[in-house]
Amino acid sequence: MQAQHQDVLTRAQQLLQQQNFAAAADLLAPVAQRNPGEPGVVRLLGLAQLRSGDVATARQTFQHLTLLAPGDPDGHKDLGVALASLGELDAALGAFDAALALDANAYLARLHRGRTLERLGRDDEALYAYFGAIRRAQDAGRWLSDETTPPLLRELVQNAMAVVDAGRRRVFGKALEPVIARHGAAALERVEICLANYLGETSLPPPDDTQRPLFLYFPGLPSTRYFQRELFPWLAEFEAQAGVIRTELQQLMQEDGGFVPFLGNDTPEQVADQLVGTRGEPAWNAFFFHRHGERYDDNCRRCPQTAAILDKLPLARIRAHAPEVCFSVLTPGSHILPHTGVTNTRVVCHLPLIVPEDCALVVGGETHAWQEGRCVVFDDTFEHEAWNRSDKLRVVLLMDLWNPHLSEAERDAMGVLVGAIGDFNAAAGAA
């Protein structure tokens, strides 16, 4: 009997794949009647009913399924699809929200939720729902082509992508309007190229294959691993204060607390693909003055002279994103493995404060040996790594600066644009 039951389910699934929905429903109805408490059978029947056009019956089947398996997000999603097909759009949104409360990565629920919002005329909300659906589906290897998109979904996915393409262009263009008013469109031509590249309207990759920005590439900037000091005329004055900064660092290191794992993880297992060690457990710790654009006031009060010096520097400042400024501590034997940064619009500066022998930074295959009190500025979108092969701590003051090849108008625009992209991604649940 069990084998016969399984044979029926297998045949029903084949009929569904062949889009012979009515035959699948006829085959499954008596099985579901005999097995009303089996969620898998009930769901197959509901799908067959829905796709054969018997939507009202499908709604009843899916309502039963949500009672039978309330923790299954697919049941709520399927109920939402049935409700939307019947024009019960507000109730459908409730079902999709129930599915997403159970699984935030349920991209099909996000997709159908977006379509329902679009039908309700809530276009901005639909845009965010569609983007979140596409991002999650593509992260899972879906919707990258016709081959990775089920035929029954292609039209809906194509519509979602069209809405996202037009909507993101509109949102980001509107965000830049005040900047254009301040500086004029001619001053922001390269920003427009950068935005078109980010949106996929053009394809302008970095000229060097070791440069791989994780987030945003600004075409047309010189492809430079390390930057000439002359591009930062304030460096010498800043370096002259290294002794003051080092004194506060040393006092801080004698105290308890304030240093946290730079990577936000605590165990070697969590950072094994980013950090390794040859002298026991590796550690890359930081004392943050700024992170993700937020000033850490308590930490700044603990190092008042350093904080006052930093406040006068031309740091890259982007709401909720930059700068990142910290004492970066690499313990003996620790090796930060090769990785790349997010965007070439900002660069990283190190002021080395404590540098024992056998420590180095490698950017795009070029090795640099830190010298205490002498800054090095590099583009971290090139693959880079760092190591401390000594038996002492290595400490640098790390900070974000604007790429020196950006104009003042471009810096203004990129600060606004990156903030707008961050806001958009957060609203779409894709940050």
Cβ atoms 249, 395 nearer than 8 A: yes
Mean pLDDT over residues 77-99, rounded? Answer: 97
- ω before 73 within 30° of 0 (cis)? no
Find the angle CA(280)-CA(389)-CA(236) to the nearest 5 degrees.
130
pLDDT of residue 1: 40
In the predicted model, is pLDDT for residue 4 greater than 60? no
Nearest to 419 by CA among 216, 223, 139: 216
Run of H or E including 346: strand 346-354
Cβ atoms 153, 372 nearer than 8 A: no
pTM, two decimal places: 0.87
Q: What is the pLDDT of residues 115-174, one digit of tens each?
A: 999 999 999 999 999 999 999 999 999 999 999 999 989 999 999 999 999 999 999 999
Token pair, residue 287, equals 């004392």
- In CATH, which superfamily holds the domain spanning 229-405? B-lactam Antibiotic, Isopenicillin N Synthase; Chain (2.60.120.330)
Q: How confident is the model at residue 3 (pLDDT cuts 50, 70, 90)?
A: low
Q: What is the pLDDT of residues 299-314, one digit of tens each?
A: 999 999 999 999 999 9
Cβ atoms 386, 361 nearer than 8 A: yes
In the predicted model, is pLDDT for residue 63 greater than 90? yes
pLDDT of residue 315: 97
Q: What is the pLDDT of residues 197-220, one digit of tens each?
A: 999 999 999 999 999 999 999 999
How far is the C-alpha of 113 from the C-alpha of 292, rounded, in Å?
Answer: 31
Mean pLDDT over residues 322-341, rounded? Answer: 96
Question: What distance, in Å, lies between the first and last C-alpha atoms of the chain?
Answer: 50
Token pair, residue 370, equals 């830190």
pLDDT of residue 205: 94
Q: Does residue 39 or residue 418 have the better pLDDT?
A: 418
Q: Which CATH number fits domain 2-103: 3.40.1160.10, 1.25.40.10, 3.40.720.10, 3.30.830.10?
A: 1.25.40.10
Q: Does residue 398 or residue 65 have the better pLDDT?
A: 398
Mean pLDDT over residues 58-87, rounded? Answer: 94
Q: What are phi and psi of 374, to 5 degrees?
A: -120, 120
* Sheet (strand 359-363) strand order: 275-277, 334-339, 384-388, 359-363, 366-368
In the predicted model, is pLDDT for residue 269 greater than 90? no
How far is the C-alpha of 246 from the C-alpha of 397, rounded, in Å?
Answer: 9
Domain with CATH 2.60.120.330 in the chain: 229-405
Domain with CATH 1.25.40.10 in the chain: 2-103
Mean pLDDT over residues 330-344, rounded? Answer: 96
Q: Does residue 263 or residue 33 have the better pLDDT?
A: 263
Q: Which residues contact 38 (CB under 8 A, 6 or more apart)?
A: 32
In the predicted model, is pLDDT for residue 108 greater than 80? yes
Token pair, residue 385, equals 């790594």
